[in-house]
Each structure stands twice: as C-alpha cells, then as structure tokens.
Chain A
Amino acid sequence: MSPAIVLLAIIALAYLATHVAFDWLARRFHLVSGVEYLILGILLGPSASNVLSAADLQSFSPLITLSVAWFGAAVGTRLVIRNLVAIPALHYRLAFGEALVTLLIVVLAELLAIQLLFDLPVQVAFVPALALGAIAVSSTTLGIDVVMKSFKRDAPILRLIEVGALVDALVAILAIGVLLCIDRPSSFSGARSFTPTEWVAITLGIGVVGGALFHLFVGTERHSDRLFVALAGTLILASGAAAYLELSPLMTAMIVGAMLINTSQSHAEIESVISQGERPFYFVMLIFAGASWSPTAASWLPVALFLPARALGKVGGARLSARLAGVLPLVGRGWGWALFGQGGLALALALDYRRHHSASFPNLVFTAAALSVLLTDVLSARFARAVVAPVLDAVHPDQLAQAVEQEVP
C-alpha cells in the first residue's frame, strides 16, 4: 500500500479517536471540544505528515483569512446597540477593568521578556508584546454557554461573565486592528504614505462601505441562500480588501457584522446565517491554525510567561475592578477565572497578526496563542462553573441585581 494512503488512513483514525475522546470528555466533565481540529491540523501540517504542505497552506490563505473574518463578523453581530445600552454600567466597568488590566500586565511582561531575550529596542519589542496582550485579553464564551445551560437561569453573575467575554473580544480585536495600522509596512505605491490614524479610518471605512454594499446588494431579500451569498460575498470582499491593504480583516469584518446587525431589517436572518457559518469556519480555522503551527525552540520564555501573565491579568484585573466598584463579595474574588478559557478568537487574532508581512516573531505569538487554547479551552466550562457555583450558593441572586440598580442614577 502506498505510504501516502497509509498516512491518510492514520490521520483519519487519529482524528476520529481524538474526536471521540474529546466528545466523551465534553459530556463527562463539561469540557468544551474543538481542540481535536487543532490536533488534526497539526497532524496534517508540514510539522507532522506534510499532507498540507507549506505551499498548500499558502494557496489556502484566502480561506484562512475568510475564516478569521467570519469570527470577526460573529463578534460584530453580538454588538447590538439596543442590547448594549440596556446593560448596566457596572458590568462595563468590571469588564473593561479586567480587559485593560490583562492587556497591560501581559504587554509589560512580554515586552520585558522579549527585550531581555532578544536585546531589542522597546519600539520593536512592543509590537509582538501588544499582539500577545491582545490575544491574552480574548476569552471564550463556550464555557459560559455550557454553565448557563446547566444552571438554567439568567443569574447576574452569568450576565456579567457574558458581558466580560464580549468586552474582551471587542478590546482584543480593536487592539490588534490598531496595532496592524501602526505597524503597517510603509512601502506603498501611492502619492504619499498614510499615517496610522488614516489607516485606522480606512479600516473603519472598508467595514462601513462593506455594510452599505450588502444593503444595496440584498435590497429586501430574505431568502437564506441569497442572504448567504450576499453576506459571504460582502465579508470576503471587505476582509479581502483589508488583507490586501495589510490591515486587519478581523476588525473590518467585526465592523461589517456590527453595521449589518444594527441597520438591516433582516438582522435575525443575518445573525442566523453568520452563526450557522461560525462553527464550520471555526473548525476550518483550527485545522489551518494547527497545520501552520511551527513552534520555535528559541523563544520559549515569552511563551512560557504568557499563561501565568494572562492568569494574573485576568484574575487580578477582575478582582481589582470588582474591589474598586465595591462588589467583590457579590461577584467573588476569583470571578476572572471564568474568563480564563482562551477560545478560538485567540487563534483568529494570532492568524491575523501572523498574516501581516512585517509581523515580528509571528511564530512566537502564534505558539503562545495555540498553547493557551490547547491548555485552557477544554477546561473553560470547569473554570466558569468553579466561579459561578459558589457565588450562586452564597449570594442571593437579587443582591448583585440590587448593586446594579444602585449604580443606575
């Protein structure tokens, strides 16, 4: 039998075995599966079997960018203004506090590590450090979803964690989007080079024009097939334009998603189409992320530092913001652990950064993100449960609600 066929058979079996194993784990221990696709990607990629060679990965780069963009669009559809304004300010204070402290701690820790290890000037080391900071901020919602299903109630602590995850996504995407505008290669054939601020405006502009194009294209159409083609086409076009200009497709797609969900009459259908595609594209992204992963031995210190720094930022930042808001007894000292599960957005951010031509230490950034996903994703539901259960047992559900009401003038 040809070695290639044997290889394909081994990969198929390995995938099935991992899938069954993770499926069992998910049911038995409330662990969230999906990591098996990352492992499948590693098995298929140049580091293992080379079924997906480096050239193949290069040729599939449009698909990878699209899956990253779809992730951004999915985050954008969660930014429904009428829902956002109904969320109490306390939730935002806690969530932004946790996100910004995490960003700060990880950026400082990684800046120090990269500078020490590679003897680089601050402005050079700052770029990968900020990318790692943005990745560290992101957290998964999958664990929270599992816990919400098991508790079957909309407790204020669950709502807070949900808002926390959304704010994390928003901060992370904006951070990476702005970073790519700042660190954009200056060589371009136009009359003059644009400033980073202008590139940020262009990123936003592409998102807004993409949203407008969708409206023009779809008109009053509500058929799901046509909506899918229009939506996919718009997202591909907008994220393709961003990728072509070396900007962030993730941020552009998030703006497209937010614009559509807030302005279209077919917002329910749009949300449905995007959410239908979210899981498949997530797995596509995981497979290609795994396949394109090439860990480098020379940079293990920043990678090893990433998880502890992130844990410190998440837990410390959450605790600090809760203490400052005076609600620490109500939300618990370790509520930040509920946001410790990393999630696919981290890989999307890492891929977005690595796609960038002038990105420094792309493998280091990607390795940190991939390891963090591998180590924290499956346990995200456990983390969320560990935070939520004691709070629900010790604190009457109305207490946090009352604290929230006191915040409202």
Chain B
Amino acid sequence: MRRAIILVLMLLGMQIVLPLGDRGADQSALLTFGFLILAAYTVGEVAALVGLPQIVGYLLAGVLFGPEILNVVNRSAIVSLAPINKIAVGLIAFLAGAELRWSEVRERGIKITKIMSTELSLTFVALISLLWILHNQVPFLAGRATSQVVPLAMLFSAMAIVHSPAVTMAMLSETGAQGPVARTTLGVVLFSDVFVVLLFALVMALCRTLVPPSAIVEEPSFYAVAWEIIGALVVGALFGALIGVSLRFVEKEIFIFSIVVAFIGNELARVTHVESLLSLLVAGFVVQNMPGRGESLRHAMERSAAPVFVVFFALAGSQIDLLEVLRYWTLVVPIVLVRMAGLAFGTRLGARWARAEPLVGKYGWLGLVSQAGVAIGLATVVVEVYPEHGTSMRSLFLAVLAVNQIIGPVLFSRALLNSGEMAHSAGTDMAAVRD
C-alpha cells in the first residue's frame, strides 16, 4: 500500500512540477531520471512481493512510465539519458567479464563450449525451419523465392539466438546464486556473445550474396565485421592489462576509476570500431585474472551494481514497443515458443554430451531465454544493409525480444530456485521487502 501511495504521490508531483518549467528535454532529463529510479525501484519491490525477480519490476516500470503508456519518461528524455545508459552497460559488461575466473574457464570451458554449440545450433535450425514454414505470414519473407527466404530466415535466426549477459549478471547479483546452473549459464551467455556475432557476420555475408540489397550501401566487408569481434578481444585484453597496471596508482578513488573505465572503454571501442560490450567483457576478465588489485575494482563495481541495474533495466523497459508486440503477436508467440524449445533440447543434449551436472541439463536453458544488448545492435546493422525489409525484420525481432526480456528473468529465477542455488530464497527476499 505504501508503495502505491509513493507512486501516486510521485506522479502527482510530476504533474505539478512539469507545467511550471521549460519543457526542454535536457532540462527534464534529470527529473525524469530521478522519477524513473524511484518508480522502478518501487515496482521492483512490488514484483518481489508477488515472487517475480526485481528486474522484471524495473522493466515493467519502464514500460508503464515510458512513452507507450503514461509517457512520464518521454522519448527525448530517453535520448538524453543515453550516455548514462552507456556507462551502465559498460559497468555491467566489465563486471560480467570479471565474474569469470581463468581456473573456471579451464575447468568448465569444454563443457560450456559443448553446451553452447548444441543449444545455439539447435535453436538456429529450429527458428529457420519455423520461419520457412510461416514465410507467407512473415512480412519480410512473404512472396519471395525459396533461395531468398532461407538466407533472410537465417539472418533473423542469427539475431534471435542471442542471449543477454546483462540479465544474467543482474539475476546472479540479485539472488546471489552460486552453483553449476548459475556458473554454467553465465559461461554459456558470455561465450555465446562472441560466437553469435561471428555467426551473424558469416550469415550476413551469405545473405548479401543471395539477396543483394536494393539500396547502395557501404560495403560492410567480412573483415570489418570480423575485426569487430577479434578486435574487441585484442582491444579488450590490452585495455584490461592497462587497467591492471593503472590500478597500482589508484587507492581511494576506485569507484570513480570504475566509472572512468566504463566511459573510456566505450570510447576506445568506438574509435577502434570494435564491439564495446565484448571488449569491456574481455577487459574485465583480464583485470580480474591478472595479479594485482582487480578484486578491489570488481568490489567497487559490485557496490554500484544495484542502482546501475535499476537504471539500465528501467530504461530498457521504457524502450519496449508494446504496439509492435500486439501487431505481430501471431508470429511472436510461435517464435518465442520454438526458440525456447530449441534452447531446452539443445541445452539438455549439450549437457549430456559434456557430462555436465544433471541440474544443468534440466534447468540451464531457462537462464538463456533473456535477450538484450548485442541483439539490438545486430538488428540495427540489418536495417542499415536492408533499409526496406530490414525495418520489418527489426520490428518483429524487437517484439520477440520484448517478450523474452520480460519472461526471461522470471524463468531464470525459477531455474535458480528449483536447482537450490539461490543464496537466499525468494521467500526470504519477499519477507525483507514486506518488512
């Protein structure tokens, strides 16, 4: 009840303040940002009360107060808050990389690779098959010859198999989960980021040959796309090494140093034309596994994780386009279901092949449903290459992503609870919220 009162009071306050000032986006950005943090955190607590992960609450708050429904956080405010979101993404990526230990990679690397390759392959094939079957209903495939349907379906599927390191990190941070399901899921999600972007580059090259773009667009050579990945590994490793050395000179200002790392990392990725998420992920991994003070940097970043997640997911939620979901619901539902089936069978098969713990085979796939981050970037590349049908492909993809974004954390939470890996049970968490 108290939370409902807070939300109503804040909404009323916004209605009083907004007409008094200049309605410029820059001026209102901080106001809406503050509102979003408090509102998202409140909805997150309500979500915890009904047994949902808090990040689902943050996402729902973004949807509710975003431009699609209440429009308290309008589109121009979202654009104004993009730099803050960028730093949040950088921190999450760095933290995700820092979660991986070299010893763990050596110990579980083969298992993770086997599980990842089977789940990605099966899901990829399943989605292509579904799109081929439904191609007359799919806007960017309808009326095309089979020679064009298959490569375009492959392109869509290459995007649709992406996972979300941010959601995985947020869920592990929220639940404090430690165990084979949590660690394997994190490993698969991080490894797959590299693999999926490489696969996407290959499929895009094939697609450009079989379905030539109608518009004259700049040639995104295979080398350029490959550099985005390989370069990210190189740049990330070098950047990580540089951070490791610099940490010797940083004593009290470790928190601000972590913000600077996220900012410079993003900037470095931009000027070297590499994938920023991946490069920061690698940098985090290198710093953590280098002798030195990587651990203290990780702790500093972890301390800031809670507000960073609130901001990141609330902003992500505000960008969810509900109208697109409704418009394409007849396609979204089968795609989401088939993707989940591919993940479930693929993970189970991969776990058996890798002789992983039975719980990993049973529950691991539930942690792979979420999508965000890299996937949106890939969809943007498609629109640049295929301005005509790329737009409808992106719209459908973002609709699928919206659904996965909401149900993914719920499923992962179930997986961690059922596998008994949560540091504290959901019941305890809810009790804390009630208190």
| Partner-B contacts on A (CB < 8 A) | 2, 4-5, 8, 12, 16, 19-20, 23, 51, 56, 58-63, 65-66, 187-190, 202, 209, 213, 216-217, 219-220, 223, 225-226, 228-230, 232-241, 243-246, 279-280, 283-284, 357
Contacts of A61 in B (CB 8 A): 26, 29-30
Whether A238 contacts B271 by the Cβ 8 Å rule is no
Scoring A20, A241, A357 by chain B CB atoms within 10 A of each residue's CB, the highest score goes to A241
Contacts of A238 in B (CB 8 A): 34
Q: How far is the CB of B180 from chain A (nearest CB, A)?
A: 27
Contacts of B5 in A (CB 8 A): 216
Q: Which 6 A-B pairs have the closest CB atoms?
A: A237-B34, A240-B30, A236-B34, A240-B31, A4-B271, A233-B37
Whether B83 contacts A5 by the Cβ 8 Å rule is no
Q: How far is the CB of B38 from chain A (nearest CB, A)?
A: 4
Contact of A279 among B26, B37, B253 (CB under 8 A): B253
Whether B27 contacts A56 by the Cβ 8 Å rule is no
Whether A59 contacts B10 by the Cβ 8 Å rule is no
Contacts of A237 in B (CB 8 A): 10, 31, 34-35, 37-38
Scoring B2, B20, B307 by chain A CB atoms within 10 A of each residue's CB, the highest score goes to B20
Whether B29 contacts A62 by the Cβ 8 Å rule is yes
Q: How far is the CB of A348 from chain B (nearest CB, A)?
A: 15
The residue of chain A having its C-beta at the shortest distance from the C-beta of B251 within the complex is: A23
Q: How far is the CB of A275 from chain B (nearest CB, A)?
A: 12
Contacts of A283 in B (CB 8 A): 253, 256
Whether A229 contacts B267 by the Cβ 8 Å rule is no
Q: How far is the CB of A237 from chain B (nearest CB, A)?
A: 3
Contacts of A8 in B (CB 8 A): 264, 267-268, 271
Scoring B82, B84, B249, B256 by chain A CB atoms within 10 A of each residue's CB, the highest score goes to B256
Contacts of A59 in B (CB 8 A): 80, 82-83
Residues of B2-57 contacting chain A, CB below 8 A: 2, 5-6, 9-10, 13, 17-23, 26-35, 37-38, 41-42
Whether B32 contacts A16 by the Cβ 8 Å rule is no
Number of A-B contacts (CB under 8 A): 138
Contacts of A230 in B (CB 8 A): 38, 41
The answer for the CA separation of A5 and B272 in the assembled complex, in Å, is 8
Whether B271 contacts A5 by the Cβ 8 Å rule is yes
Q: How far is the CB of A54 from chain B (nearest CB, A)?
A: 13
- Assess whether B106 is interfacial by the CB under 8 Å rule: no
Whether A188 contacts B29 by the Cβ 8 Å rule is no
Residues of B253-296 contacting chain A, CB below 8 A: 253, 255-256, 259, 264, 267-268, 271-272
Supposing A217-B42, A245-B20 touch, asked if A62 and B253 sit within 8 A by C-beta, the answer is: no
Scoring B32, B35, B37, B435 by chain A CB atoms within 10 A of each residue's CB, the highest score goes to B37
Whether B249 contacts A232 by the Cβ 8 Å rule is no
The answer for the CA separation of A4 and B66 in the assembled complex, in Å, is 37
- Assess whether B246 is interfacial by the CB under 8 Å rule: yes
Supposing A8-B264, A190-B19, A233-B38 touch, asked if A240 and B310 sit within 8 A by C-beta, the answer is: no
Contacts of B432 in A (CB 8 A): 223
The answer for the CA separation of A276 and B81 in the assembled complex, in Å, is 24
- Assess whether B306 is interfacial by the CB under 8 Å rule: yes
- Assess whether B242 is interfacial by the CB under 8 Å rule: yes
Contacts of A12 in B (CB 8 A): 242, 246, 264
| Partner-A contacts on B (CB < 8 A) | 2, 5-6, 9-10, 13, 17-23, 26-35, 37-38, 41-42, 80-84, 242, 246, 249, 252-253, 255-256, 259, 264, 267-268, 271-272, 306-307, 310, 432, 435
Contacts of A236 in B (CB 8 A): 30, 33-34, 37
The answer for the CA separation of A5 and B81 in the assembled complex, in Å, is 26
Contacts of B259 in A (CB 8 A): 280, 284
Whether B22 contacts A229 by the Cβ 8 Å rule is no
The answer for the CA separation of A29 and B242 in the assembled complex, in Å, is 30
Q: How far is the CB of B253 from chain A (nearest CB, A)?
A: 6
Q: How far is the CB of B74 from chain A (nearest CB, A)?
A: 13
The answer for the CA separation of A244 and B27 in the assembled complex, in Å, is 5
Whether B29 contacts A233 by the Cβ 8 Å rule is no
Q: How far is the CB of A56 from chain B (nearest CB, A)?
A: 7
The answer for the CA separation of A56 and B87 in the assembled complex, in Å, is 13
The answer for the CA separation of A226 and B3 in the assembled complex, in Å, is 14
Contacts of B255 in A (CB 8 A): 280
The answer for the CA separation of A230 and B27 in the assembled complex, in Å, is 22
The answer for the CA separation of A36 and B112 in the assembled complex, in Å, is 45
Can you give 28 contacting A-B residue pairs, CB < 8 Å? A2-B271, A8-B264, A16-B246, A23-B249, A60-B83, A190-B20, A216-B2, A216-B5, A216-B9, A217-B6, A223-B432, A226-B306, A232-B307, A233-B37, A234-B34, A234-B38, A236-B33, A237-B31, A240-B29, A240-B35, A241-B31, A241-B34, A244-B22, A246-B22, A280-B253, A280-B256, A283-B256, A284-B256
The answer for the CA separation of A279 and B435 in the assembled complex, in Å, is 32
The answer for the CA separation of A246 and B38 in the assembled complex, in Å, is 22
The answer for the CA separation of A190 and B17 in the assembled complex, in Å, is 11
Whether B267 contacts A16 by the Cβ 8 Å rule is no
Whether A5 contacts B268 by the Cβ 8 Å rule is yes
Contact of A62 among B6, B42, B80, B267 (CB under 8 A): B80
Whether A58 contacts B26 by the Cβ 8 Å rule is yes
Supposing A16-B249, A62-B30, A228-B307 touch, asked if A244 and B17 sit within 8 A by C-beta, the answer is: yes
Whether B435 contacts A240 by the Cβ 8 Å rule is no
Contact of A220 among B17, B30, B268, B435 (CB under 8 A): B435
Q: How far is the CB of A247 from chain B (nearest CB, A)?
A: 9
Whether B253 contacts A243 by the Cβ 8 Å rule is no
Scoring B31, B252, B259, B268 by chain A CB atoms within 10 A of each residue's CB, the highest score goes to B31
Contacts of B271 in A (CB 8 A): 2, 4-5, 8
Contacts of B26 in A (CB 8 A): 58, 61
Whether B30 contacts A243 by the Cβ 8 Å rule is yes
Q: How far is the CB of A217 from chain B (nearest CB, A)?
A: 6
The residue of chain B having its C-beta at the shortest distance from the C-beta of A20 within the complex is: B249
Contacts of A244 in B (CB 8 A): 17-18, 21-22, 27-28, 30-31
The residue of chain A having its C-beta at the shortest distance from the C-beta of B86 within the complex is: A59
Contacts of B252 in A (CB 8 A): 279
Contacts of B306 in A (CB 8 A): 225-226, 228-229
Q: List 5 additional contacts besides A244-B30, A280-B256; criterion CB under 8 Å.
A: A8-B264, A236-B37, A237-B35, A239-B34, A244-B21
Scoring B17, B42, B81 by chain A CB atoms within 10 A of each residue's CB, the highest score goes to B17
Contacts of B81 in A (CB 8 A): 62
Contacts of A223 in B (CB 8 A): 432
The answer for the CA separation of A400 and B268 in the assembled complex, in Å, is 58
The answer for the CA separation of A187 and B242 in the assembled complex, in Å, is 51
Q: How far is the CB of A95 from chain B (nearest CB, A)?
A: 29
Contacts of A241 in B (CB 8 A): 13, 17, 31, 34
The answer for the CA separation of A177 and B171 in the assembled complex, in Å, is 43
The answer for the CA separation of A66 and B84 in the assembled complex, in Å, is 12
Scoring B2, B32, B34 by chain A CB atoms within 10 A of each residue's CB, the highest score goes to B34
The residue of chain B having its C-beta at the shortest distance from the C-beta of A355 within the complex is: B27
The answer for the CA separation of A66 and B19 in the assembled complex, in Å, is 22
The answer for the CA separation of A223 and B306 in the assembled complex, in Å, is 12
Supposing A229-B41, A229-B307 touch, asked if A188 and B31 sit within 8 A by C-beta, the answer is: no
Q: How far is the CB of A394 from chain B (nearest CB, A)?
A: 36
